[in-house]
């Protein structure tokens, strides 16, 4: 499995420094938004022909790392 670090880049001059699939202007957030909306992998790849299946895997791995490493200001649930 390829590391997400090999497929995702951040460049301050591309997409305002947002994480993008390396070599494209497709932001990782766009890939994740599509997946979250229920768009299947084939649909995403058809909509963005420069993407490869490994790019979708990298976007998910990147999101998983962010979830492990940081907190997004979620409310704490007490007594559930």
Q: What is the CATH number of the domain that holds 25?
A: 1.10.10.10
DSSP state string for 14-70: SGGG--EETTSS-BHHHHHHHHHTT--HHHHHHHSTT--HHHHHHHHHHHHHHHHH-
- Look up residue 51 and give its two tokens: 């993407």
How many Å apart are CA 31 and CA 60, to the nearest integer?
Answer: 9
Mean per-residue pLDDT pooled into runs of 10, the chain (80 residues): 87 93 96 98 98 97 87 58
Looking at the structure of the chain, the number of domains it has is 1
For position 74, what pLDDT does the model report? 52
For position 13, what pLDDT does the model report? 92
Residue 14, domain extent: 4-65
Q: What is the pTM of this model?
A: 0.83
Is 55 a domain residue? yes
Is 74 a domain residue? no
For position 55, what pLDDT does the model report? 97
């Amino acid at each position: 499995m390829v590391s997400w670090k090999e497929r995702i880049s951040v460049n301050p001059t591309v997409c305002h420094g947002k994480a993008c699939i390396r070599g494209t202007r497709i932001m990782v957030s766009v890939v994740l938004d599509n997946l979250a909306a229920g768009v299947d992998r084939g649909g995403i790849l058809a909509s963005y022909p420069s993407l490869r299946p490994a790019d979708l895997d990298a976007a998910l791995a990147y999101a998983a790392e962010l979830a492990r490493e940081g907190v997004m200001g979620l409310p704490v649930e007490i007594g559930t």
